[in-house]
């Protein structure tokens, strides 16, 4: 049975039903105020927490003087709602047996519900806990609520270890790969296509770049106990002006997903070496994050989950924590492959299992 939509959140309710209530509060990026209001109101009813709000980011923390502090973080925004008729991954939520459908079911209101349930239930945790519920994750990085908090409230991001409750199917995914994008420009000389010998075809000149990328063997790099598989690919190609003109310019966009043992500068040097002789410009880059699984808090967390950790190949906000010197992992309910899909869903037991593992670790 689907819970009645409400702006009041009962943090003591079953965590799967709490997830459904969060799904019923539409929060596409830029429209997080309503869900942030509900989260703030619920947290301010808890006397054991200090609560601060910055824009549509809500933060809460214990102050018990424990020897360790951990951060549990999750974003409250979603991508836009599906537009395909009959889609079930929309708002409001819908139950099909024990499976919960709705926008954000996996990415990542199931994880946010787990955070809220922990905030209410753990009045005397074994470690001090900081809870971060942040806005604008699904849009450009410059708008990120977590980035804003890092600038305005850096003391709130001071901790020994962090868990980002992104969907991982209940498996610890440590750190993340970095990502960088490059424009590779090939110059030619324009001419009428009927007299092609008078020009230089820039599109043909792109062939060598594509061959080098095709024949490149991505590395698998062992970092802090996990094997990170890299990838290097052409992702877009543009060139040409008309059907009767030899193109004088072609641009290939290349994306490099690099292991967290490298800096963006080292990643750039790697790409420039591979594509030596071509005009390469780095247009964007974000460092990866080492998993830090040797830290005592991380080791205890992995033991509580009870499964071997895996590397995170995509980029997530654990990299922001890593940049601050805080080792971090991804761990949350739901299959990441369902995120942003028209039938986004999560099983109720997956949410409950995630909550159980974190209660074991933090009790």
- % the chain with pLDDT above 90: 86
Kindly give the pairing relationship between strand 161-164 and strand 69-75.
Answer: parallel
CA–CA separation, 315 vs 352, rounded Å? Answer: 26
Strand order across the beta sheet in which 94-96 lies? 94-96, 99-101, 345-347
Higher confidence at residue 166 or residue 142? 166
* 89 vs 102: CA distance, rounded Å: 4
Query: What is the reported pLDDT for 164?
Result: 96
State mean pLDDT over 124-136: 97
- Residue 74 contacts by C-beta under 8 Å, 6 or more apart in sequence? 108, 111, 112, 115, 132, 133, 134, 164, 165, 166, 332
Query: Annotated active-site positions, please?
Result: 77, 137
DSSP secondary structure string, 51-87?
EEEETTEEEEE--S--S-EEEEEEE--BPPPP-STT-
pLDDT of residue 295: 83
What does the pLDDT average to over 2-11? 66
For residue 137, CA distances in Å to 28, 144, 145, 162, 164 come to: 10, 5, 7, 17, 12
In angstroms, rounded to a whole number, what is the distance separating the alpha carbons of residues 317 and 339? Answer: 16
Angle separating helix axes 15-23 and 110-121, nearest 10 degrees: 130
Task: Lowest mean pLDDT of 3-7, 55-59, 250-254, name the range.
Answer: 3-7
Per-residue model confidence (pLDDT) at position 7: 75
pLDDT per residue over 292-351, tens digit each? 888 888 888 998 898 899 998 888 899 999 889 898 899 999 999 999 999 999 999 999
């Amino acid at each position: 049975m689907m819970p009645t939509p409400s702006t009041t959140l009962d943090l003591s309710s079953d965590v799967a039903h709490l997830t459904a209530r969060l799904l019923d509060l539409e929060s596409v990026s830029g429209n997080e105020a309503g869900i942030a209001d509900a989260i703030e109101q619920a947290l301010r009813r808890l006397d054991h927490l200090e609560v601060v709000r910055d824009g549509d980011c809500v933060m809460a923390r214990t102050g018990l003087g424990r020897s360790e502090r951990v951060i549990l973080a999750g974003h409250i925004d979603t991508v836009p709602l599906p537009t395909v008729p009959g889609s079930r991954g929309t708002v409001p939520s819908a139950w099909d047996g024990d499976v919960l459908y709705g926008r954000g079911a996996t990415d990542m209101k199931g994880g946010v519900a787990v955070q809220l349930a922990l905030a209410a239930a753990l009045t005397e945790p074994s470690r001090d806990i900081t809870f971060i519920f942040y806005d604008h994750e699904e849009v450009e990085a410059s708008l990120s609520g977590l980035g804003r908090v890092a600038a305005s409230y850096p003391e709130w991001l001071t901790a020994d270890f962090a868990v980002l409750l992104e969907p991982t199917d209940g498996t610890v995914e440590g750190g993340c790969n970095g990502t960088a994008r490059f424009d590779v420009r090939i110059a030619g000389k324009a001419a009428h296509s009927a007299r092609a010998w008078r020009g230089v075809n820039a599109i043909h000149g792109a062939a060598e770049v594509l061959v080098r990328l095709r024949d490149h063997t991505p590395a698998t790099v062992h970092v802090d106990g996990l094997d990170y598989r890299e990838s290097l690919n052409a992702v877009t190609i543009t060139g040409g002006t008309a059907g009767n003109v030899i193109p004088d310019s072609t641009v290939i966009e290349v994306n490099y997903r690099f292991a967290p043992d490298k800096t963006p500068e080292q990643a750039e040097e790697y790409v420039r070496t591979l594509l030596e002789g071509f005009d390469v410009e780095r247009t964007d880059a974000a460092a990866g994050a080492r998993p830090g699984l040797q830290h005592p808090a991380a080791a205890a967390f992995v033991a509580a989950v009870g499964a071997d950790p895996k590397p995170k190949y995509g980029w997530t906000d654990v990299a922001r924590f890593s940049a601050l010197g805080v080792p971090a992992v991804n761990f949350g309910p739901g299959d990441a492959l369902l995120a942003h899909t028209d039938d986004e869903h999560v099983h109720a037991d997956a949410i409950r299992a995630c909550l159980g593992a974190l209660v074991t670790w933090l009790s």
